């Protein structure tokens, strides 16, 4: 595929991100970030993500007890994607 990340993929991503389920997933994670940092008046550290101890797809939640700070590189790189 010569144009794997071109306009066709961008069009698909736009439609995918507009789905109600995807919007709710993003909103839930943003609420978790808010509870962890902004609500307590702490600044969000740069280069740090919130990692789920038990992944959401395996029955985990966005509860504070299921979140832990982890470097963005380690949290986003576990799939082995070649960006």
Each residue of 57-81: pLDDT tens digit?
A: 899 988 888 988 888 888 887 665 5
Residue 14 inside a domain? The answer is no
Checking if the pLDDT of 1 tops 60, the result is no
pLDDT at position 7 is 85
Q: Is the dihedral of CA 41, 36, 68, 20 positive or negative?
A: negative
Residue 13 inside a domain? The answer is no
pLDDT interval class at 83 (50, 70, 90): very low
Residue 5 inside a domain? The answer is no
Each residue of 16-56: pLDDT tens digit?
A: 999 999 999 889 888 888 888 877 777 878 888 888 899 88
- Determine the structural domain holding residue 25 and report its residue range: 19-76
Residue 3 inside a domain? The answer is no
Number of domains in the chain: 1
Residue 10 inside a domain? The answer is no
Predicted TM-score (pTM) of the model is 0.57
CA-CA distances (angstroms) from residue 27 to 1, 6, 31, 50?
Answer: 34, 27, 6, 14
């Amino acid at each position: 595929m010569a144009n794997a990340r071109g306009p066709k993929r961008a069009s698909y991503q736009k439609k995918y991100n507009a789905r109600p389920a995807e919007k709710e997933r993003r909103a839930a994670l943003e609420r978790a970030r808010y509870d962890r940092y902004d609500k307590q008046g702490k600044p969000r550290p740069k280069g740090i993500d919130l990692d789920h101890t038990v992944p959401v797809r395996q029955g985990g939640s966005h509860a504070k007890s299921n979140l832990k700070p982890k470097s963005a590189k380690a949290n986003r790189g576990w799939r082995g994607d070649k960006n």
